Amino acid sequence: MAATPRLPAARVRTLRQRLLGWYHRERRDLPWRRTRDPYAIWLSEIMLQQTRVDVVIPYWQRFLTELPTVHALAAAPEDQVLARWAGLGYYSRARSLHRAAREVVTRWGGVFPRTPAELEELPGVGRYTAGAIASIAFGVPAPLLDGNVARVLARLFAVEASVDAPATRAELWALAEALVDPDDPSGWNQGLMELGATVCVPPPGSPRCEVCPLAGQCAARAAGRQHELPVRAPRKAPRALTWVTLAATTRAGALVLARRKPRGLFGGLWELPSAEPAADETPAAAAARVVAALGLPGRPAPRRAVEQEHVLTHRRLRLLAYRVTLPARGTAGVTIPGDAYDRVALVPPAELARHGLSSATSRLLEALSLA
């Protein structure tokens, strides 16, 4: 356990003054900084989990245009919510968002709770997001700790222990709590994150200490260790995975899509019916197995079409796509292709956008000239 730095009141005062001055002078004009609507701010915080600002902006704007209130979101079908999340990743966020909207309506009468403890009871809202909503939307002096803040604090106080270790996390949370400005918690919290995103940047970039408002107070800078901190836990290598996927179309051009069950990888999203080849099974045999699972009469033989790689943080997916045209009378009795799915549908090209597709599926359909 690393030593907890002492925080003299005068030091805290200086840090607050410098960071807040800098933030209110230099802050980026982000769309969710133009609203005070807790719903819009909550939506931004969920989308921003492990996701960059620039990626989120268009999603946030589109989502808010189509579902402008928590009531609209609560009333929407889950499939529609996932369709609007398609491409953003971490799809359990969308499902939790939807459940949380219904809770806000049913349990809280459509009015968001204001305290971190109450906010944290909402699905998809953890300690960080609760602190963010409480401080930014309601001005509650709650701390928050995200990747940016952890990096800034680790450098500012020269925290040498791994920032991924639970004991270090606790220490950083304690620092964040002691530092949050009671008069401007929103500005302080966003200032810390803004500093981490634009000045006190992670490797392989270099921290821009020459423009940092806290450079004079920074312990890592004083020790010349700003490039060495924070210490992160080593990353595990992604596991390799092969999926055989079947692009089955009718003569009219409709495509067979299957919806994955709610939990797990790509949960709730639509995709080409797929199967993982068994250890002793050839890809062609696995493709034939998918055809059989669809219950197609005559069991037409699929032909190998395209191969594509899709890299995730912890998975390396090899997608082997097979192509088949459905027999004319085969479209009525298409069955759910295996226990990874809970629905199957014939989707005309014009209706593809109404289905939530992962980027992997979108790219695959593109490569197959089906989208």
Partner DNA sequence: AATCCGGGGGT
Partner DNA sequence: ACCCCAGGATT
Binding site for DNA (CB under 7 A): 30, 32-33, 44-45, 48-55, 87-92, 96, 123-130, 132, 146-148, 151, 166, 190, 193-194, 196-197, 202-205, 232, 235-236, 264-267, 310, 312-315, 358-360
Name the residue nearer to DNA (CB basis): 165 or 347: 165
Under DSSP, is residue 264 helix (H, G, I), strand (E, B) or coil? coil
* Residue nearer to DNA on the CB measure, 50 or 106: 50
In whole angstroms, the minimum distance from the beta carbon of 280 to DNA comes to: 23
Cβ proximity to DNA: between 265 and 367 the closer is: 265
Q: Which is nearer to DNA, 50 or 282 (CB)?
A: 50
d(CA 44, CA 52): 11
Token couple for 333: 């009795």
Compute φ and ψ for 368, nearest 5 degrees.
-90, 5
Alpha-carbon dihedral sign for residues 114, 27, 56, 233: negative
Residue with smaller CB distance to DNA, 82 or 344 = 82
CB of 189 to DNA, least distance (A): 9
The nearest distance, CB 60 to DNA, in angstroms, is 10
**Closest separation in Å from C-beta 259 to DNA:** 13
Phi-psi region at 47: left, alpha or beta (left = phi > 0; alpha = psi -120 to 50): alpha
**Least Cβ distance, residue 302 to DNA (angstroms):** 23
Nearer to DNA, 27 or 71 (CB): 27
Report whether 273 contacts 338 (CB < 8 A): yes
Q: Round to whole Å and give the CA distance between 170 and 172.
A: 5
Distance of alpha carbon 62 from alpha carbon 85, whole angstroms: 10
45 is catalytic: yes
Spatial separation of the C-alpha atoms in residues 262 and 173, rounded to whole Å: 33
Are 261 and 341 in contact by the 8 Å Cβ rule? The answer is yes
Task: Please give the helix or strand (H or E) that residue 303 lies within, else none.
Answer: strand 303-311
CB distance 41 to 35 below 8 Å: yes
Element (H, E) at 356: none
Distance separating alpha carbons of residues 210 and 225, to the nearest angstrom: 15
Give min distance, CB of 284 to DNA, in A.
Answer: 25
> Is the distance from CB of 248 to CB of 326 less than 8 angstroms?
yes
DSSP SS3 for 228: coil
Catalytic choice (26, 45, 78, 276)? 45
Half-sphere exposure of 167 (CA within 13 A, CB side): 8
146 — phi, psi (to 5°)? Answer: -120, -170
The minimum distance between CB 203 and DNA, in angstroms, equals 5
Catalytic residues: 45
